[in-house]
Amino acid sequence: MGGHFQEFEDEYLEAMYSYYENDPELLVRTGEIARTLQVSPASATEMIQRLASKGLVNYIPYKGASLTELGLSVGMQMKRRHRLAEVLLEKLPFFGNVHETACRLEHAIDDDLEIALSLLLNQPNIDPSGRPIPPARDDLATVIETHASVLRPMSSISNNCEGEIRMMVVSETGMKSLSDIGVSIGTHVKKINGRWQTSEGAYFEISERLAEKILLRC
């Protein structure tokens, strides 16, 4: 149950962050939070009081709540992971509800996966709807920037640059198709005049969309 409670808390803090994005000084009434999360006013009040006891929100009865510095950090992180998940789903052959699926995925994204997604997606600043993606926590941002200098999507590689394929986020069919042309994890490739060449000298072509899903160690 602890895990479920953590998810509930994260949902509230993420919702509070949405209000913060629009007006950092706003006191959000529990009734408004209840409508946003489609829960009863009593449940919303209980959870806000719970979050206040943990130092995550400032709560003034009958007036509303706002995020503390700690709550802001958690809410921002959850919103970042949600929007990174939406960017990922838009790049996959995914035909479901992007928003609802991202709501589930965000809770499964830990620090390591957030770093990997940031690198794989080439550190996006906006989600598919054009909303800004909040910045990573300072400690994660440092790791991302460090690795970004060596791990880059193939789509961002310039002519005469080369590297080793370290990650591919493609379907099983896509993996087989790439393998059939001699491209897999560990393959060394180089971009020459807009074309790709393996270390064995074989040329191959891939779409820009596919190139976005393959990370090279440069």
Same domain, yes or no, for 160 and 193?
yes
Question: The whole model's pTM is what?
Answer: 0.79
- Per-residue model confidence (pLDDT) at position 150: 79
Q: Which of 98, 78, 92 is nearest to 13 (CA)?
A: 78
The enclosing domain of 25 has a CATH number of 1.10.10.10
Cα separation, 199 vs 164, whole angstroms: 10
CATH of the domain at 191: 2.30.30.90
Same-domain pairing of 136 and 160: no
User: Does residue 72 lie within any of the structural domains?
Assistant: no
Choose the weakest-confidence range: 39-43, 132-136, 157-161: 157-161
For the segment 10-27, the average pLDDT, to the nearest whole number, is 96
The pLDDT, as a whole number, for residue 177 is 87
pLDDT digits (tens, 9 = 90+) for 190-215: 999 889 999 888 899 888 888 888 98
Q: Convert the pLDDT of each residue in 76-93 to its tens digit.
A: 999 999 999 999 999 888
Is 70 exceeded by the pLDDT of residue 1? no
Residues 32 and 86 occupy one common structural domain:
no
Of 133, 148, 163, the domain-final residue: 148
**DSSP alpha helices (H): ranges in the chain?**
2-22, 30-37, 41-53, 69-91, 98-105, 111-120, 138-148, 172-180, 208-211
Contact criterion met (CB below 8 Å) for 118 and 215: no
Q: Do 191 and 162 sit in the same domain of this protein?
A: yes
Q: d(Cα 11, Cα 36) in Å, to the nearest integer?
A: 10
Range of the domain at 131: 80-148
Residue 164 sits in the same domain as residue 186: yes
The whole-number average pLDDT for the span 45-55 is: 97
- pLDDT higher for 131 or 94? 131
Indicate the number of domains in the chain: 3
pLDDT at 4 over 60: yes
pLDDT, tens digit, 9 for 90 and up, residues 121-153? 889 999 999 999 999 999 999 999 988 877 888
Averaged pLDDT score across all residues of the chain: 92
Of 93, 126, 148, the position where a domain reaches its end is 148
Nearest CA among 17, 26, 30, 24 for reference residue 61: 30
